[in-house]
C-alpha cells in the first residue's frame, strides 16, 4: 500500500535551516508529482510547494518562495524540502502528499527562540 | 489566489441523520480540459487528511457510498446521507485548477 513517511522536523531558532525528507513506498515514485502542504497548530491547510514527476517543474507559495527548495531523488524514492531563513510563522506540521490523494503522517517543525 | 469558503464552520449531527457542507470558490474551478478540480478531504482527530472525493463527485478508493459530492463552476456540496460516529473530524474542500492550491477553512463535524 502507499506509504509516505516524513522526517526531519525539529525545534529550530528563527533564521535557522532544516531539511525535511519524505520516504515513499508502495507505488512507482517516479510516476507521480509530489507536494508539501503544511498545517499550523490549530489552523487550516496551506499548500507550499509542488514538484513534477521528473523534477523539472517546480512551484512555490509566495510565503516560502526564495527561502524553501523542493527536490526529489527518484532513485531513492524520496522527496525533500530544504527550509532556510525560518520564521516563527513557519511553525507547522509538514505533510508530504502524492498527487492529490495520499498524505503522510506529517513532521512537526517548530521555529522558536 | 482562489479563495475557498466553506459553510458551516461547524456541524453537530445526530447519528443516522444527513449532513451537508457547502464550498464556494472565488473563481470557476472548471479547467479548459473540461474537468473541475474540486476535492474534499476529511481530517479525523489526530490523523492526516484523507481524500474523500475528487473532481467534485468521484468517491476515492474505499470511501463509503454514504458520501456524495455535487456542484459545478463555483458552488459545491458534500453530503453524507447518514452520519456515523467514524465521520467526525474536519472536512476541507480544496481547489487545484490553478496554483497555489487553496483550501477552505474547514468544517468541524461532531456527533450529538
CB contact under 8 A, A45 and B50: no
Cα nearest neighbour of A62 on chain B: B100
Q: Poorest-confidence range of A38-52, A80-94, B41-55, B94-108?
A: A38-52
CA distance B51 to chain A (A): 6
Segment B19-32, tens digit of pLDDT: 999 999 999 999 99
CA B107 → CA A13, B11, B26, B45, distances in Å? 33, 7, 18, 13
Per-residue pLDDT at A102:
96
CB contact under 8 A, A47 and B100: yes
Residue B60 has pLDDT above 90, yes or no: yes
Size of interface A-B (CB pairs under 8 A): 42
Mean pLDDT of B51-67: 97
CB contact under 8 A, B48 and A61: no
CB contact under 8 A, B54 and A104: no
Residue A93 has pLDDT above 80, yes or no: yes
Mean pLDDT of B8-16: 96
Mean pLDDT of B74-83: 98
Per-residue pLDDT at A43:
74
Residue B20 CA to residue A39 CA, distance in Å, equals 24
Residue A44 pLDDT level (bands cut at 50, 70, 90): confident
CB contact under 8 A, B54 and A61: no
Closest CB to B48 among A46, A47, A103: A103
Residue B101 pLDDT level (bands cut at 50, 70, 90): very high
Per-residue pLDDT at A42:
73
Amino acid at each position: 500500500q502507499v506509504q509516505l513517511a516524513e522526517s526531519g522536523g525539529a525545534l529550530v531558532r528563527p533564521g535557522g535551516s532544516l531539511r525535511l525528507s519524505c520516504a515513499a513506498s508502495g507505488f512507482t515514485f517516479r510516476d507521480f508529482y509530489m507536494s508539501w502542504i503544511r498545517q499550523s497548530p490549530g489552523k487550516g491547510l496551506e499548500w507550499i510547494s509542488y514538484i513534477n514527476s521528473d523534477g523539472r517543474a517546480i512551484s512555490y507559495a509566495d510565503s516560502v518562495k526564495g527561502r524553501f527548495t523542493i527536490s526529489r531523488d527518484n532513485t531513492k524514492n524520496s522527496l525533500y524540502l530544504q527550509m532556510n531563513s525560518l520564521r516563527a510563522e513557519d511553525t507547522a506540521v509538514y505533510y508530504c502528499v502524492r498527487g492529490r490523494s495520499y498524505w503522510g503522517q506529517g513532521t512537526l517543525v517548530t521555529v522558536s527562540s | 489566489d482562489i479563495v475557498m469558503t466553506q459553510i458551516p464552520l461547524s456541524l453537530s449531527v445526530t447519528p443516522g441523520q444527513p449532513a451537508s457542507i457547502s464550498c464556494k470558490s472565488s473563481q470557476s474551478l472548471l479547467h479548459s480540459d473540461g474537468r473541475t478540480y474540486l476535492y474534499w478531504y476529511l481530517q479525523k482527530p489526530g490523523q492526516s487528511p484523507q481524500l474523500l472525493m475528487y473532481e467534485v463527485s468521484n468517491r476515492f478508493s474505499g470511501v463509503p457510498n454514504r458520501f456524495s459530492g455535487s456542484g459545478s463552476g463555483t458552488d459545491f456540496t458534500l453530503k453524507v446521507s447518514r452520519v456515523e460516529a467514524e465521520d467526525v473530524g474536519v472536512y476541507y474542500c480544496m481547489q487545484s485548477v490553478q496554483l497555489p492550491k487553496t483550501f477552505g477553512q474547514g468544517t468541524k463535524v461532531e456527533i450529538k
